Amino acid sequence: MKKDQTKKLTGFLFEIGNLRKVLRAHQQMLLSYDLTDTIASHSFRVAFIGYFLAKELGADADKVLKMCLLHDLEESRSMDHHWVSKKYVKIYSEEIKKDQFDGLPHGLDLVAILNEYEERKTLESKVAKDADLLDQSFLLREYEWQGNKEAANWLAGRAGKGKGGKGLSNQERLMHTDLAKSIAKEIKSQAPSDWWAKAWTPDRR
């Protein structure tokens, strides 16, 4: 690797680490303040969700993993924006993409994968987007369990509408695959703590 490429790669990896400090903007509308809800923590679970969806649906799991890890990378520079602010704020995505990947070793490969994800035409891109939406559903369920009424409204499809709604969250309405929709339904029926119920013991070993 050439010296300028090494320099570019090192800076890029610093930039990725910075995503641990980028809080997700929806906290404003969810009336919450959660320092663990960052772009990095979000992308971590999205990647695992994407992997399992891809394996079950016969998609290219390697490509889906890359899409999941890349999908919010620009937010190290633009920051995150919720759906209200997106109505008023223009993000210069192409400029960010150019500055992030130009001169980066294998950067063109990542740009191609990111472009495919954004076009949302292939199975892999749809699976990766479903993973993104499912992570939001998991988070809303976790917040609902803690008593966040706004999260409960979002999860029940009542965001911004008060009472009523049709029982489907905005995330579910946007999902492409039946598998993702079935997981979204299951999320609403499980307690976030169910996974450790059988592992708990009062005994010190």
- What is the rounded CA–CA span in Å between residue 89 and residue 27? 17
Indicate the pTM of the whole model: 0.93
Instruction: Please write the tens of the pLDDT for every residue from 131-174.
Output: 999 999 999 999 999 999 999 999 999 875 544 446 799 999 99
| % of the chain exceeding 70 in pLDDT | 97
* Average pLDDT value over all residues in the chain: 94
Instruction: Please write the tens of the pLDDT for every residue from 47-80.
Output: 999 999 999 999 999 999 999 999 999 999 999 9
Domain membership of residue 47 as a residue range: 3-192
Q: Is residue 109 in some structural domain?
A: yes
Task: List the CATH number of the domain containing 56.
Answer: 1.10.3210.10
* One-character DSSP codes across 149-199: HHHHHHHTT-TTT-S---S--HHHHH---HHHHHHHHHHHHS-TTGGGTTT
- What is the rounded CA–CA span in Å between residue 103 and residue 135? 32
What is the number of structural domains in the chain? 1
Give the pLDDT score at 19: 98
Q: Is residue 203 in some structural domain?
A: no
Q: Is residue 200 in some structural domain?
A: no
- What is the rounded CA–CA span in Å between residue 26 and residue 111? 27
Q: Is residue 130 in some structural domain?
A: yes
Give the pLDDT score at 73: 98
Q: Is residue 8 in some structural domain?
A: yes
Q: Is residue 124 in some structural domain?
A: yes
Give the pLDDT score at 108: 96
Q: Is residue 38 in some structural domain?
A: yes
Q: Is residue 80 in some structural domain?
A: yes
